[in-house]
Amino acid sequence: MNAAVMPNAEAASAAAGDAPLVVAHDLAKTFDVSAPWLNRVLERKPRTLLHAVDGVSFEIERGKTLALVGESGCGKSTVARLLVGLYEPTRGGMHFDGQDAQAAYRSSSGRQLRRRIQMIFQDPYASLNPRWLVEDIIAEPLHEHGILSGKDAMRERVGELLRSVGLSPLDMAKYPHQFSGGQRQRISIARALATAPEFLVCDEPTSALDVSVQAQVLNIMKDLQRERGLTYLFISHNLAVVRHVSDQVGVMYLGRLVERADKAELFARPRHPYTRMLLDAIPQMHAVGRARTPVQGEVPNPLNPPSGCAFHPRCPHANARCSAERPALLQLSGVRVACHAVEEGRI
Amino acid sequence: MKTTLARWFDSDVGYSFRTSPMAIAAAVIAFVCVFSSVFAGWVAPHNPFDLASLDLMDARLPPAWMEGGSTKYLLGTDDQGRDILSAVIYGARISLIVGVVSVLLSVVVGVLLGLLAGFWGGWLDAFLMRLCDVVLSFPAILVALLIAGVGRALFPNAHESLAFGVLIIAIALTGWVQYARTVRGSTLVERSKEYVQAARVMGVPPLRIMLRHVLPNVLGPVLVLATIQVATAIITEATLSFLGVGVPPTSPSLGTLINNGNAVLFSGEWWVLVFPGAMLVLLALSVNLLGDWLRDALNPRLR
Amino acid sequence: MSLLQVKNLVVEFPTRRGTLRALDDISFEIAPGEILGVVGESGAGKSLTGAAIIGLLEPPGRVAGGEIVLEGQRIDNLGYEQMRHIRGRRIGAIFQDPLTSLNPLYTVGRQLVETIRTHLPVSHAEARQRAIDLLKDTGIPAAEQRIDHYPHQFSGGMRQRVVIALALAAEPKLIVADEPTTALDVSIQAQIIQLLKRLCRERGAAVMLITHDMGVIAETCDRVAVLYAGRVAEIGPVREVIHQPAHPYTGGLMASIPDMDSDRERLHQIDGAMPRLNAIPPGCAYNPRCLRVFERCLQERPELLPAGATMAACWLHDAADPHRGHAALLAQHERALAHGERAAPDAAQALPEVQP
C-alpha cells in the first residue's frame, strides 16, 4: 500500500521527536464589516472593523488534544478556520510540522498540507451535500488528492472508513437524509479520515447532538486518536465535554486567549477571573439544587471591545491598570494567564 | 431506469402528482400536444406545406360539423385550401421548438451567470446584478423586436434558419434574468453551508465546487421557473409572429396562423382564427399549470 | 389539588404513510408552584407535550386521546377563542429563540401592554406602569427608557428577560418554558435560570421546564419526567432520578453525560438510537437497546410502576415479577459505570440475556 497507510501512535511520535506538531503564533483576523461604500460616504460613517481574533498563540503536541473554549463572539471558530486555510490571517500564522502553513496554503504545496489537516464541522445536517451519495461524499478527498484509482479500490476504502466509525459499508449507497444526526457526524469523521490526516480541527462536533449520541461520537473520536496518533484541536463551549476529551485547555474571550493550561490544572486551579466564573456558571448535574453565582453582565459587542483588558467591565478584581493596559499572556508556574491581577499576585 | 422511475413515483413529488387531478390533466394535455407536434408527419391528416396537395376547390370550407364542411378537413380550410387541423399541429410544433429551445438557452446562460455572481461576489456580482436590472427595465417584446429587426437589417437575404436563430436568441436574451437572480440567491445560501467549506478545506478547486456541489442544490426553483417560462416564451413567439417579425412565413407558427385568421375573421371564416388561438391557449395553460403544480410539490413547507 | 393534570395524552400526526403517534399515553401532574422538568432527547416528544398543553399543536398534528385538565377544567377540547383566553392569562409560554419570540416591528412596551390589557381589566397607564415594574423585576436596567426600545436593541440575554416578563405579564399560574436557555451563552444561562426560579417562586407560578440539559434540570427542578419515544420512562423527584435512576434508559442517560467531577476514559454509551416514530418496537420502546431486556419487555408495554422514590415504566419494577430484584443490580451497574469503575461483578451474571 502507498502512503495512505495510517500512522499509529508509536510511529508518529518516534518520527517527530519532541517538537510540537502545530504552532500558532500571534494569530489575528480582522473582518471589515463596514457599511457599503455609498452609505459610508453619504452618512459619514467610519469604517467598522471586527477583530475576531486578536493575537492568539498556542502549541499542540503530536497525539494530544487542545481544547478552545469560550462563549459566542470569542473567536474560537475563526481560529479553527484560520488553521485550515479557510481564512487568511491578518497577522501572525501557523507552523505545521515545521512548515509555514500560510505560505503553503497560498502556493501549490497547499495541496500536500490539506491532506494532513482536516476539519469536522458543527452542523451534521449542513456538512454533507444532500444530493450526493455517502460513497461519493467520503470518496471525494480520495479523488481530489489522487490517492486511489479504480472504482473497486475506492469502494473498499470507503467501506473500511465507514467501519472505522462504527457504520456499515452498506451505508455508502444511501443519502445523508436517511441518517440521524449522530450518524451523519460519523460520516463527516469518516470523510475527514479519508486522506489519513495527522491533525483534525473539530469545530463543536457534538454541540448539535443529543447527550447519548454525543457519548458515542466522543468515544469514537478518542478511540481513533489512540489508534492513529491523531492530534486534535477541539472547539467547544461545553466545559464538561472539554474536560472529557482534552489534554490542554485554552480559554478565549473576545478574540484573545486569557488562559491556557493543562486540563487538570485548569479545572482544579483556574487562575483567570473569567475562567473561574465560567467554571462556576456551569450547571452541575450531580450537585442538585445548588445555586450558582452567576456572571455579571454580558459579553460586550465585539465591534466595540472595552479598552485594556477586554474582561475588565465584568471583573470583580479590575483596577485602573486593567482598563488602560492590555495584559499579555504570561507564563506563571506552568500555566499561561493574561491577567494583571494574577501577575500582581492580587488573586 | 425502472428503479429510479419507481422511486420517483413513490416519493413525495410523485404522490403529489398522483393525487392532483389538475396536474394529471395538464400533463396529459401537454403530452398530447407535444406528441402530436413531434410526430406531426404521422398525426396530421394533411401536409399544409406541400403546395402540390392543396386544392383551391377546397378553400374556405367550414369545420366538419357545420353545413358545408367535409370530414376530409375536420377543422375546415383557409383561403388557400390548407387544412386547419394540420396547420395547427405543425404550427404547434414550431411554437414548441422555439419556446423550449429559447428557454433552454436562457436557463444555461442565467444559471451560469447566477452561479458566478453568487460564488465570486465582489465586483463581478455587483456588475452582473446591475446588468440584470438594466435588462429587466426593457420590455421583453421591445427587446425581441429590436433584435429581430437588427437581425433582418444585418442579414437581409439570410436563410430561414437564421431567422429562427435570431428569434430564439431574442426571446432567450430577455428571459435569463430571473434564473440568474434566483440562482444567485440560492448560491449565496449554499456557499455558507458547511459542506461547501468542507470541500474547500479538502482543496477542491472553486470551479468544481461550484458545478458539482452547489449547482445540484440550486436547480430546484430553476425547474419550476423554466416550466412556467416555456408558456411565456410560446406566447412571446406568437406575439412576434403575429406582428410579422417572428418566424418566416413559410413555416407558420401558431402566431402566424392567428395573424392570417385575423385578416379573414370578419368575412365570416372564424375557424381560421379560433382553432390556432385555442391551441395556443391550451398549450400555454397546460404548461403553466404543470409549472404551478411543480412549484407546490417541491415546496417543503406545503407538503 | 394539582394545577395541571395530563391524563393519557395521545398526539397523532396523520401522514400519507399512516398515522404516527408522537405522544403515546403520557400522564403526569404539576402541583401549584412546583417546577417540573421534562427531559428527553430529540424526537422524544417533549416540545410536543408543551405545545399540546398550550394548544399550539401545528396541524395536521392533533390531540387524539386523553385529557389535559387545568385547575379542574378540561382545556384540550376548547375552541380557538376559549383557548386564546387561557393562553397568557392562565398559562404563559417561553420559547427557545428570543430573537423570534418578540415581534421586531413593535416596541417591547407595546407588546407588554398589549398582553396585559388583553387579559387584565386595567387602563393603558396602569398597564404601562405594570410593564415597567415587570421589566425592572426581570433585571433590565433603566426600564423606564428601555420599555420604548425595539427588540433588536436588546442583547440575547436581555431579550430572553423580556420574553420572561411577557410570559408573566398577565400573572399566569403555569409557565411552559421550552428550552429557554439553549440558545444562550453559558454565563447568561445561569442568570436566566436564576431569574426564572426567583420570579416563579415569588409569584407562586408553576413551571414546566422542557430541556435536554440535565444540568439545568438538576439545578432548577423539583421533579423531573424523562421522555423516551413519546412515552414517559421515569418520573420522580429530581435528586432520586439523577442519583438512583430506576429505568435503564435514565440510568444510561445519566451515565453518558460527561460531568465536571470525574475523569473517565470512555463515556458510557447507549448503543443504537431512539426509534423513529414509524418504527417503534412492540412492548417497551426501549427494548432493542436495553441491557436487561427479557421476554415480557418484547411483548407488553410497561405502565408506570412505583420504583423506590420514583415511578418508572419498566417491568423490572413489577412487584409480582421474578425479575424484580435485578432492578437494584442494574441501578448499581449503571452507577458504577457513571463513576468510571468497573461494573459490579454480580451485575454481569444477573440475568440470562434475551438475544433479540
Higher-confidence residue of A118 and B268: namely: A118
Helix or strand holding residue A22 (H, E)? strand A22-32
Q: Name the phi and psi angles at A158, rounded to 5.
A: -60, -40
Interface check for B122 against chain A (CB to CB < 8 A): the answer is no
Q: pLDDT grade, residue C324 (50/70/90)?
A: low
As given in the structure block, the three cell numbers for residue B64 are 366538419
Higher-confidence residue of A220 and B22: namely: A220
Contact C111, C165 (CB under 8 A): no
pLDDT of residue A237: 86
Given a cut of 80, whether residue B4 has pLDDT beyond it is no
Helix or strand holding residue B275 (H, E)? helix B271-298
Q: pLDDT grade, residue C334 (50/70/90)?
A: low
Interface check for B123 against chain A (CB to CB < 8 A): the answer is no
pLDDT of residue C323: 67
Given a cut of 60, whether residue C340 has pLDDT beyond it is no
Rounded to the nearest angstrom, the minimum Cα separation between A162 and chain B is 18
pLDDT of residue C335: 64
- Enumerate the residues of chain B whose CB falls inside 8 A of the CB of residue A188: 198
Q: Across chain B, how many H-helices and E-strands are there?
A: 13, 0
- What is the largest distance, in Å, between two alpha-carbon atoms of chain A? 68
CB within 8 Å: B194 and A110: no
Q: Report pLDDT digits (tens) over B83-112.
A: 888 888 888 888 888 889 999 999 999 999
Q: If we measure between CA atoms, which residue out of C216, C211, C115, C219 comes closest to residue C163?
A: C115
Q: Report pLDDT digits (tens) over A290-319.
A: 555 566 777 788 888 888 898 888 888 888
Average confidence (pLDDT) over A238-243: 88
Average confidence (pLDDT) over C241-262: 85
Average confidence (pLDDT) over C255-266: 77
Q: Report pLDDT digits (tens) over C37-92.
A: 999 888 888 889 999 998 888 888 889 889 999 988 898 888 888 888 888 788 99
What is chain C's mean pLDDT, rounded? 84
Interface check for B194 against chain A (CB to CB < 8 A): the answer is yes
Given a cut of 90, whether residue A137 has pLDDT beyond it is yes
Higher-confidence residue of C127 and B59: namely: C127
Average confidence (pLDDT) over C285-305: 87
Query: Using CA atoms, how far apart are residues A347 and C199, in angstroms rounded to an integer?
Result: 34
Q: pLDDT grade, residue B10 (50/70/90)?
A: low
pLDDT of residue B81: 78
As given in the structure block, the three cell numbers for residue B98 are 422555439
Average confidence (pLDDT) over B165-169: 83
Sheet holding C174-178, edge to edge: C91-94, C174-178, C206-211, C35-39, C223-228, C231-237, C310-312, C305-307
Neighbours of B112 (CB within 10 A): 17
Test the A interface: residue of C41, C192, C244, C257 with most A CBs within 10 Å? C257
Given a cut of 50, whether residue C354 has pLDDT beyond it is no
- Enumerate the residues of chain C whose CB falls inside 8 A of the CB of residue A284: 215, 218-219, 259-261
Query: Using CA atoms, how far apart are residues B214 and B187, in angstroms rounded to an integer?
Result: 7
Average confidence (pLDDT) over C278-289: 88
As given in the structure block, the three cell numbers for residue B148 are 429581430
Higher-confidence residue of B278 and A10: namely: B278
Query: Using CA atoms, how far apart are residues A253 and A37, in angstroms rounded to an integer?
Result: 31
Interface check for A146 against chain B (CB to CB < 8 A): the answer is no
Q: What percent of chain C has pLDDT over 90?
A: 30
Chain CA centroid to CA C158, Å: 23
Q: Name the phi and psi angles at B252, rounded to 5.
A: -70, 135
- Enumerate the residues of chain B whose CB falls inside 8 A of the CB of residue A106: none
Q: If we measure between CA atoms, which residue out of B145, B100, B164, B169 comes closest to residue B239?
A: B145
pLDDT of residue B32: 85
Given a cut of 80, whether residue B303 has pLDDT beyond it is no
The pTM is what? 0.81
Given a cut of 50, whether residue A5 has pLDDT beyond it is no
pLDDT of residue A2: 40
Burial A254-274 (b: 16+ CB within 10 A, else e): bbbbbbbbebebbbeebbbbb
Given a cut of 90, whether residue C319 has pLDDT beyond it is no
Name residues whose C-beta falls within 8 Å of residue C198's C-beta, 6 or more positions apart in sequence: none
Rounded to the nearest angstrom, the minimum Cα separation between B211 and chain A is 13
CB within 8 Å: C256 and A214: yes
**Lowest-confidence range among B121-130, B247-256, C5-14, C190-199?**
B247-256
Q: Report pLDDT digits (tens) over A159-170.
A: 999 999 989 999
Query: Using CA atoms, how far apart are residues A211 and C216, in angstroms rounded to an integer?
Result: 14
Q: What percent of chain B has pLDDT over 70?
A: 93
CB within 8 Å: C256 and A215: yes
Q: pLDDT grade, residue C353 (50/70/90)?
A: very low
Q: pLDDT grade, residue C356 (50/70/90)?
A: very low
Q: Report pLDDT digits (tens) over A97-108.
A: 988 998 998 888
Higher-confidence residue of C55 and B4: namely: C55
Of A123, A145, A195, the CB nearest to B194: A123
Interface check for C260 against chain A (CB to CB < 8 A): the answer is yes
Given a cut of 80, whether residue B156 has pLDDT beyond it is no
Q: State whether ipTM is beyond 0.95.
A: no
Query: Using CA atoms, how far apart are residues A302 and A253, in angstroms rounded to an integer?
Result: 10
Q: Report pLDDT digits (tens) over C3-13.
A: 999 999 999 98
If DSSP codes are grouped into helix, strand and coil, which group holds residue C350?
Answer: coil
Q: Which residue on chain B is closest to A108 by alpha carbon? A: B203
Query: Sign of the CA dihedral A91, A94, A86, A54?
Result: negative
Query: Using CA atoms, how far apart are residues A207 and A223, in angstroms rounded to an integer?
Result: 19
Q: pLDDT grade, residue B128 (50/70/90)?
A: very high
What is chain B's mean pLDDT, rounded? 83
A-contacting residues in C 229-258 (Cβ below 8 Å)? 238-239, 242-243, 252-254, 256-258
Q: If we measure between CA atoms, which residue out of A160, A209, A225, A163 comes closest to residue A21?
A: A225
Average confidence (pLDDT) over C156-170: 89
pLDDT of residue C350: 38
Query: Using CA atoms, how far apart are residues B25 and C334, in angstroms rounded to an integer?
Result: 62
pLDDT of residue B185: 93
pLDDT of residue B35: 85
